[in-house]
Amino acid sequence: MAAFEYVALDAKGKQKKGVLEGDTARQIRQQLREKQLTPLDVNHIGDAHRKKDKGGSFFGPKISVSDLALVTRQLATLVRAALPIEESLKAVAEQTDKAKVKTIMLGVRAKVMEGHSLADGLSEFPSVFNELYRSMVAAGERAGHLDKVLNRLADYTERRQKISTKVSAAMVYPIVLILVAVGVVAGLMVFAVPKVVEQFQHMGEELPTITKVLIGLSDFTISYGIYVLIAAVLLMFGFKVWLRKDENRLRWHATILKIPVIGRLSKNLNTAQFASTMNILHSSGVPLLEAMNIGGKVLSNLKMRKAINEAAVKVREGGSLKMALQQTGEFPPMMIHMIGSGEASGELEHMLEQVSENQETLFENSIDVALNIMGPLIILALGGMVMFIVAAMMLPIFEMTNSITS
């Protein structure tokens, strides 16, 4: 029995969408007519979403990270209770009140009922279940402890969401401060400064150098500010186009790693991602080389990803994981020594878990330090610019007052 998406009209002419299970599209249309609905479109879920995913996972169906974690944990609970996979998928689909999640669950269930494994069913929706997710499920099915693997996946998904939220918060705060600073300064330059300058010009007095500089900046902002803004937008657009080429993006990502503060944050983020991915894959029974290949793909920095690929080649040739990572020069010594200790003692799985926790803690601390530094610096810069404008406007007034009193 397969799952089909349908679009139909009710007796009032209102369009309805949903999912029904049946053997053929013709049977689905018959079910709709029995419900007093006029079928407009009926598509097999797998075929419909394969077409969307041909253009890449960007165009495929997506669900939120929290929904994915919830679905994964529900599946783990049902599998642990010894329910068959197809029944577990059906129960999760019935439990959710979100149409997209229900569609995906029934689509996976239809594939499983055709005799395929759960991992094969998940591969029908690569935009929802990435390679890491599918590889772990396949390993869990082979080893016979799918419920434990699904629980680990739910924990991993929630941790990744936590890190992603932390990164977003770290980016939003300084960006908002910078935009406010630019807006305040631009507003003063365009509206406040010209009115004050007009009064100075009527006095016919020699203006201080700082005031002349301010007048020049104000005139430039009024005359060319819009052009500067357009040029900045075009420059950003051109930069995005330039980054579409892999070699350019690789060069840019290598440059990011060399920038003070930002480079350390990027390296800590990617190291934490790799460590946590390796930990969950290796503990779920995925072979080391396959875990390294998948772990490299989750990294956002191409330079770090290239380093992982080079390390995987050395491991494939018979080298140890410690030496392979050490030769890349991209990973912290503490992480490398802990992995080496795990390899030597035969407790690599335990050490990878420790490394994962350490790197995530280090990344969170790095974010906190960066925010504590960048926030005050931006506020100081804004205060400095405002103080410069106020001083440039007030200094001629003080000089005029002194000349009158003397």
Residues 162, 136 share a domain: no
pLDDT (0 to 100) of residue 55: 47
Q: Is the pLDDT of residue 45 over 80?
A: no
Q: Tens of pLDDT along 66-76?
A: 888 889 889 98
Q: Tens of pLDDT along 369-378?
A: 877 887 788 8
56 assigned to some structural domain: no
pLDDT (0 to 100) of residue 263: 87
Residues 109, 218 share a domain: no
Find the mean pLDDT for residues 95-111.
Answer: 85
Find the mean pLDDT for residues 138-162.
Answer: 83
CATH number at residue 197: 1.20.81.30
pLDDT (0 to 100) of residue 47: 58
313 assigned to some structural domain: yes
185 assigned to some structural domain: yes
Best-predicted range by mean pLDDT among 152-166, 208-222, 275-289, 323-337?
323-337
Q: Which pLDDT band holds residue 222 (cuts at 50, 70, 90)? A: confident
pLDDT (0 to 100) of residue 204: 64
Residues 339, 387 share a domain: yes
Find the mean pLDDT for residues 240-244.
Answer: 92
Residues 137, 265 share a domain: no
Residues 71, 131 share a domain: yes
Distance CA 395, CA 384 (A): 16
394 assigned to some structural domain: yes
Q: Residues 6 or more apart from 242 whose CB is under 8 A from it?
A: 248
Q: Residues 6 or more apart from 53 whose CB is under 8 A from it?
A: 59, 60, 125, 126, 127
Residues 120, 26 share a domain: no
Q: Is the pLDDT of residue 9 over 70?
A: yes
Distance CA 211, CA 390 (A): 10
DSSP 8-state class, residue 152: H
Q: Is the pLDDT of residue 51 over 80?
A: no
Question: Per residue in 48-65, is it b (16+ CB within 10 Å) or e — as a string?
Answer: bbeeebeeeeeebbebee
Q: Which pLDDT band holds residue 57 (cuts at 50, 70, 90)? A: very low
232: containing domain: 156-406
Lowest-confidence range among 139-143, 167-171, 317-321? 167-171
Residues 38, 169 share a domain: no
State the pTM of this model.
0.68
Residues 168, 136 share a domain: no
DSSP 8-state class, residue 124: T
pLDDT (0 to 100) of residue 236: 93
Q: What is the mean pLDDT of the chain?
A: 82
| Stronger pLDDT, 1 or 6, i.e. the higher one | 6
Residues 318, 354 share a domain: yes
204 assigned to some structural domain: yes
Q: Is the pLDDT of residue 361 over 60?
A: yes
Q: Is the pLDDT of residue 239 over 70?
A: yes
59 assigned to some structural domain: no
- Number of domains the chain is built from: 3
Residues 254, 310 share a domain: yes
